[in-house]
Chains A and B, each alone.
Chain A
C-alpha cells in the first residue's frame, strides 16, 4: 500500500514558468514532509521541508504548500530553470524516524 503517492510520473515546463509538483498521502499521522531532488547517478539531495503545524514554507525559488484536510502537498518552483530538470521525490514521516517516499516525478524544464 503506497502511503505517499506522486501520481504524475513526468512533467514538462517551459523555462521561466512555474513548475508544480504534487504529492498525496493517506496516513493522517504524518507530521513532517520533505522534498528531495535527484539527478541521474547521484543520490537525492534535500530541497525543502514542512512541518504539519504550517501550511507553507518558502526557500528562494522553492515553496511547499501543505493542505492537511486534503492530505496533499505541492512543490512550486518559480521561475523554473533548465538546471531544475531532475526527479523530485516527496517524503513523509510520522515521527518514527523513517521516511516514506513517493515514486517520484521527473521534471523536464525546456529552454
Chain B
C-alpha cells in the first residue's frame, strides 16, 4: 500500500507570491491533517479535513487555507508569502477521525526568499 505522498518535495518562492502544496493520503484514509514544522517550534497544527470539510483549524492567519477533494486528496494554499512561512509542511492521513495514529508524508520544504 502506498504511503502518504506530498508534492512537490521542495519549493522556492519569493515574498508576496502564493503557493499550493498537494497531498495524496493512503488509499482508504478519509482524514487529512496539515502541520508546519520549523526549527525550535516542533509541529504546529494547521488544519484537518474530513469528507471534504474543514473540521479543525490551528492558530494560523487566513493566508493559510486548504481543501479536500472527493477522493480525499488535499491541497493547502499559502497566499502573500512571508519570510517566516519558510518551513517543512507535513501532511498526515488517518483512516477516520478520532484518536487514531497519523501517517505522515515526507513533507514539502518551502523556502521563501
Q: Is B62 part of the contact surface with A, judged by Cβ < 8 Å?
A: no
Question: Do residues A43 and B104 form an inter-chain contact, with CB atoms below 8 A?
Answer: yes
Question: Do residues B107 and A43 form an inter-chain contact, with CB atoms below 8 A?
Answer: yes
Instruction: Report the tally of A-B residue pairs with Cβ distances under 8 A.
Output: 54
User: What are the interface flags for B29-56 relative to A under an 8 Å C-beta threshold, 1 for contact and 0 otherwise?
Assistant: 0010101000011111100100000011
Question: Do residues A89 and B90 form an inter-chain contact, with CB atoms below 8 A?
Answer: no
Question: Do residues B106 and A46 form an inter-chain contact, with CB atoms below 8 A?
Answer: no
Q: Is B99 part of the contact surface with A, judged by Cβ < 8 Å?
A: yes
Contacts A42-B106, A43-B106, A45-B104: A96 and B42 contacting too (C-beta < 8 A)?
Answer: no
Q: Is A62 part of the contact surface with B, judged by Cβ < 8 Å?
A: no
B97: chain A residues at CB < 8 Å are 97
Q: Is A101 part of the contact surface with B, judged by Cβ < 8 Å?
A: yes
Query: When the two chains form the complex, which single residue of B31, B48, B98, B104 contacts A44, counting CB atoms closer than 8 Å?
Result: B104
Number of interface residues of B (CB under 8 A): 26
Known contacts A43-B106, A43-B107, A44-B90; 12 additional CB pairs below 8 A are A4-B42, A36-B104, A44-B104, A45-B104, A46-B103, A97-B31, A97-B56, A98-B45, A98-B58, A99-B102, A101-B43, A101-B45
Listed in ascending order, the chain B residues whose CB lies under 8 Å from chain A are 4, 31, 33, 35, 40-45, 48, 55-56, 58, 90, 92, 97-99, 101-107
Those 6 A-B pairs whose CB atoms lie nearest each other, nearest first? A43-B104, A101-B43, A103-B42, A46-B101, A32-B99, A101-B42
